[in-house]
Chain A
Amino acid sequence: MAWRNLWRQPMRTALSLLTMALAAALLVFMLSFQLGVYDTMKSNALRIFDGFARLQPPGYADDPDIRRTITDPEALAAKAEQMKGVTAAAPRATSYVILSNGERSYGAAIVGVSPARERQVSTLASTVHEGRYLKPGDTDVVVLGDALARNLKLKLGDKVTLLGSALDGTIAVDSLRLVGLFHTGIGDLDRQVAEMPLRRFQQGFAMGNTANTIALVGPSLGAVNDALPRLDRLAKANKLTIEDWGGLQPGLKQAITLDFSTSMLWYVSLVVVVVFIILNTLLMSVLERTREFGMLMAIGMRASLVGRMLWLELILLALIGTVAGVVLGGGLALWYGHAGIAVGAFEGLMAQWGLPGRLYPSLSATSALVGPAVIVVSVAVAGLIPMRRIRRLDPVKAMRAA
């Protein structure tokens, strides 16, 4: 009966359905797009260097001191790689040093890496545009961010002097040959980072067989996030801690949170508008059907049951509308998730994290269901208002109503 009542005013019902379907579709598509962009941002930003998570000694996040070390990092990296959700692990040693070329000196972060493992974790190798990346067997070589090399006036093949402080308190000095320049597009990396073979680093800084961190990646950020509890257990067993993506890129996390809260405001306004339109339509039809409600009560239907029947009509309407919207919005999101959406130059937030020119919405259970669910629930709750009116309806007055 609720179903048939929906079609008494086919035009009005169709408009209500359309309103809800469009709103639901918009929410699904926008949310898919937004989450897709966030995914790309996170993935791009993290894959370049940080990895999706990182094993590190306690306190390293606040004070990345070379003296906080991980013993036997190769064995631990191999163990981490065995875990579900983790595909590669790369041990690293890091210190702040002074790099010089003759008169010119700049402060930089030098990272000791195992070239083969590092290539699996970080995409930095693929941004080398002059010379080559490190390879297994390398000894006294270094790759630099191109901005750093420019500042130091270095060309490929030039020697660069490294001056730092070793683990045992002595001064670490080394002379390395520049074999490659990378350009990640991320200013901090290109201006301040140098990479050299881990073994040479360990010798120069008197670290023995230790490292400072182990960077981890998986098939996706989500997979690694899911593996965090297991990784945490592994870390604890080795007196280490695990840092998730938000800890590695706090700026990005904050930016996403801010961007998301801003758009939440839009989404909430959209839902509020939809609920008002639907509620208004509902009240209109309640007024029109007052006589009928009176008659139903006269023949022995309880007021609460009349109210519930009307509410059921509303829920039915909301479900049909939002399901249509999910299909429409989800279809669009899938299609564009495949084809991508070409975007022009990025402004502000996005440019900072080096996004590509094509963005891909990613349809997930979250993006497909949260928006429509909020619409259905809001409409259902708002529908309690006319329902209460009906509960208080007096059948005699209802039947007198014109």
Chain B
Amino acid sequence: MQPDTSDAHAIVTCRGVSKIYAHGAVEVRAVDGLDLDVAAGDFAALSGPSGSGKTTLLNMIGGLDRPTSGTVTVDGEDLSGLSAAHLAELRLHKIGFVFQAYNLIPVLSALENIEFVLQLLGIDAKERHDRAAAALADVGLTGMEERRPSHLSGGQQQRVAVARALVARPAIVLADEPTANLDSKSADDLVSLMAELNARSGTTFLIGTHDARVIARARRHIEMIDGKITSDTTGDLADVVQ
């Protein structure tokens, strides 16, 4: 079932990755000796029952968490050798995150939230503004620039988060349950948006999710149980872009 692991365009490579948590005397293998490659341009859904290790895996790929054993490589860089500060740099430059909630800085407007990432990258004010405005336009939120997150709907907030994840042109966008807090219409719209952005810009997406709508739209579907990959299927491109 495993795809060819020698793909030259792999953005993410996991080899024998395990994450073990100690719950008192009990060991929990949240991720258990897992191998995975994500190719450039993939639009992949990572599903599995609650507690199967999706979030843990995404966090390790994103350099937020370190594996107990095994190696994670992102865009050719082995994460195990990097310091906390280097990992922050890597996340800034190569990874876009979209979480289930609390994605945005509440005191900044939609536009400023996106600009914030560019500011961390040291980009000057003018370019920052233009790129952030363009990113907001890409997610269909032109006119909402000045709104604070609290004045945006849940779906709009997630769109801002997607725009922010994409604005630094990362190697991969990692989304963890991005639709979990949304009503079905907003969830549908968000998935369509991500699929469209993937098709348009070729940005790689890896989406941890329970949501059948997301899985249905994904070109590739990875299933996990108990920290292991149990199935990995790549569908037809035609199914994805409508």
A3, closest chain B residue (CB): B107
How close is B57's CB to chain A, nearest CB, in angstroms?
A: 12
Render A289-326 as a binary contact track against B, CB cut-off 8 A, 1 for contact.
00110011111111111000000000000000000000
- Asked if A4 CB lies within 8 Å of chain B CBs, one says yes
Could you tell me which residues of chain B, from 54 to 82, have a CB within 8 Å of some CB in chain A?
A: 59, 62, 64-65
How close is B101's CB to chain A, nearest CB, in angstroms?
A: 9
In the complex, the answer to whether B88 meets A302 with C-beta atoms within 8 Å is yes
In the complex, the answer to whether B102 meets A1 with C-beta atoms within 8 Å is no
Given A4-B108, A399-B99, does the pair A300, B93 have CB atoms closer than 8 Å?
yes
Given A297-B88, A299-B92, does the pair A1, B64 have CB atoms closer than 8 Å?
no
- Asked if A209 CB lies within 8 Å of chain B CBs, one says no
In the complex, the answer to whether A304 meets B85 with C-beta atoms within 8 Å is yes
In the complex, the answer to whether A299 meets B102 with C-beta atoms within 8 Å is no
A395 partner residues in chain B, CB cutoff 8 A: 64
- Asked if B103 CB lies within 8 Å of chain A CBs, one says yes
- Asked if A396 CB lies within 8 Å of chain B CBs, one says yes
- Asked if A220 CB lies within 8 Å of chain B CBs, one says no
- Interface residues on chain B, number (Cβ under 8 Å): 26
In the complex, the answer to whether A8 meets B88 with C-beta atoms within 8 Å is no
Given A298-B64, A303-B88, does the pair A5, B103 have CB atoms closer than 8 Å?
no
In the complex, the answer to whether A302 meets B102 with C-beta atoms within 8 Å is no
- A396–B30 CA distance with the chains assembled, in angstroms: 14
- Asked if B105 CB lies within 8 Å of chain A CBs, one says yes
In the complex, the answer to whether A300 meets B99 with C-beta atoms within 8 Å is no
A8 partner residues in chain B, CB cutoff 8 A: 106-107
Given A300-B91, A302-B88, A303-B84, does the pair A295, B120 have CB atoms closer than 8 Å?
no
Given A292-B102, A298-B91, A300-B120, does the pair A1, B107 have CB atoms closer than 8 Å?
yes
18 A-B pairs within 8 Å (CB atoms) are namely A1-B116, A5-B107, A295-B102, A296-B105, A298-B91, A298-B97, A299-B91, A299-B92, A299-B97, A299-B117, A299-B120, A300-B88, A300-B93, A300-B95, A300-B168, A302-B88, A304-B85, A396-B65
Q: Which 8 A-B pairs have the closest CB atoms?
A: A300-B92, A4-B107, A300-B91, A302-B88, A396-B65, A395-B64, A298-B97, A291-B102
